[in-house]
Structure 1
Amino acid sequence: MSQKPFKFKQFEVLQDRCAMKIGTDGVLLGAWADISENTDSILDVGTGTGVIALMMAQRCSAQLIDALEIDEAAYEQAVENFERSDWGDRLFCYHAEFGEFVEEMQDEEKYDLIISNPPFYNSDFKSASEERDMARFQDALPFELLLEGSTYLLSEEGKLAVIIPKDQEQVFLKIAGNFNLFPEKITYVKGTPTSAIKRCLVLLGAKPIEVVKDELIIEHERHQYTNEYQKLVAPFYLKM
């Protein structure tokens, strides 16, 4: 199935060469992240297929939408997906490690929004695929690197939007605080009304304010999606 393009309403994504295929986490983040009217520049860190950057291009008129990908095959596929879209003139992908990118760009470019679906499996387990491990484990992009690097690349009013596991929320927010990044909005994601919270959608900014917290339930039961979830992803998924 992954050999075929994943078709959204306004674009399609090739993913046959990417270790990490399109999943709920990335689409949720791309649909959820706040984009203000003043957002002129966006950076998608660890873009994979490029799906989040493409969602940003669909959602707003920002003239600069950069993406970053360390894996060569995924980088090439993201470039292809950008070129196949209607927004190829606004999308650009860099093939680099985030720390290197920060060093090169911190004096060159500031972003109004940095968005990332970071790797978060930090156990000792490794699969047979090095590319998949790189996409899924914190070794390639630890929270400290993402958060510290973002402080060098964000504009004065810039925001950082991420999706992380619920069990890493407190660790992530503590590290963020060390770099003077503070939560503004947190949405807790549950698969069903009775299931445990598995994910947190987090929006961070440079000023400590009262955090807005809410909850998003994806399904009432199998394939019976909630109104809130449908409203969020309806601009993208074909069958919503």
Structure 2
Amino acid sequence: MFRFKQFSVGQDRCAMKVGTDGVLLGAWTPVRDADRRGLDVGTGTGLIALMLAQRTTAARITALDVDPDCVGQARENANASPWGHRIGTVCSPVQEFGDGPFDLIVSNPPFYDNSLPSPDAARTTARHTASLPFVDLLDAVDRLLAPDGRFAVILPAEEARRFRMLAARSLWLTARTDVRTTPHSGVRRSLMLFGRQPSECFPQTAVLTVQTAPECFTPEYRALTSDFYLKF
């Protein structure tokens, strides 16, 4: 069980456990007062769906996953939270899911492409793009996103560059934050926000450094995640 300030996440039946990537995406994704429907693609434990529910007062969040064990655990985690009535869970590939449109779509997707699959089938599904290629994810976003909706995603730096090129066919990058583990390390992850319409002042770019030394977290990282982590 992973405990946050306002909810806890059981994760014993999910291949992918609570991690920094999911917390970053759930905390960083801009949420508007007008957002009424959100979709978390590849929800796993339901972490990001729970974080979005905490950050809104009325939005209904759909937590979608292809793994029945994950969907069951996400449902249990939602029911144990203060926002279970606003979180729906669905077991389906996003390629076959059609309950749009959504004001906000988020995903911490599988990103390993040509690497060796894990012996654990569930972990392979969660980590490798065979079950959800980037093209399929983007096609689903294009189909499910409202005209003024936004799509947020987190990916490793190299995969993020490839993803941006593919997304340019139908979406505009409006904001990007590159994440470094320390001030002197390379970019580890990219947080990206896309929309259907371009804007003269976009894309907004920033760099977020997580820590200056082991367990010495930067003020920026603390501010971003302080509503969630118990240690902050």
Task: Tell me which residue corresponds to 2:122.
Answer: 131
In structure 2, distance between residues paired with 1:32 and 1:187: 9
Task: Tell me which residue corresponds to 1:26.
Answer: 22
TM-score by length of 2: 0.97
Task: Tell me which residue corresponds to 2:207.
Answer: 215
The CA deviation at 1:123 is 2.5
1:192 maps onto 2:188 in alignment:
no
After the TM superposition, which residues 113-124 of structure 1 pair with which residues of structure 2 at under 5 Å, given as runs?
113-124=104-115
Report the 3-state secondary structure (helix = DSSP H, G, I; strand = E; otherwise coil) of the residue aligned with 1:93. strand
Quick one: percent identity of the two aligned structures? 43
The CA deviation at 1:218 is 0.1
In structure 2, distance between residues paired with 1:191 and 1:69: 29
Kept in 2: contact 1:40–1:61 (CA 8 A): no
Structure 1, 151-160 or 61-70: larger mean CA deviation: 61-70
Task: Tell me which residue corresponds to 2:217.
Answer: 225
Kept in 1: contact 2:177–2:191 (CA 8 A): yes
1:7-40 per-position Cα deviation (integer Å, ceiling 9, x unaligned): 0000001000000000000000000000011111
The CA deviation at 1:208 is 2.1
After the TM superposition, which residues 29-68 of structure 1 pair with which residues of structure 2 at under 5 Å, given as runs?
29-68=25-64
After the TM superposition, which residues 130-209 of structure 1 pair with which residues of structure 2 at under 5 Å, given as runs?
130-178=121-169, 180-209=170-199
Kept in 2: contact 1:41–1:62 (CA 8 A): no
The CA deviation at 1:143 is 1.0
TM-score by length of 1: 0.94
How many residues are paired up? 230
Kept in 1: contact 2:53–2:60 (CA 8 A): no
Letter in 2 for 1:152: R
Kept in 1: contact 2:35–2:59 (CA 8 A): no
The CA deviation at 1:42 is 0.4
In structure 1, distance between residues paired with 2:208 and 2:159: 18
Letter in 2 for 1:208: P
In structure 2, distance between residues paired with 1:239 and 1:168: 31
Report the 3-state secondary structure (helix = DSSP H, G, I; strand = E; otherwise coil) of the residue aligned with 1:89. helix
After the TM superposition, which residues 33-112 of structure 1 pair with which residues of structure 2 at under 5 Å, given as runs?
33-101=29-97, 104-105=98-99, 109-112=100-103
Kept in 2: contact 1:42–1:62 (CA 8 A): no
Letter in 2 for 1:222: P
In structure 1, distance between residues paired with 2:144 and 2:58: 16
In structure 2, distance between residues paired with 1:60 and 1:77: 22
Moved over 4 A (4+): none
In structure 2, distance between residues paired with 1:151 and 1:177: 11
Task: Tell me which residue corresponds to 1:10.
Answer: 6
Report the 3-state secondary structure (helix = DSSP H, G, I; strand = E; otherwise coil) of the residue aligned with 1:67. strand
In structure 2, distance between residues paired with 1:201 and 1:81: 25
Letter in 1 for 2:220: E
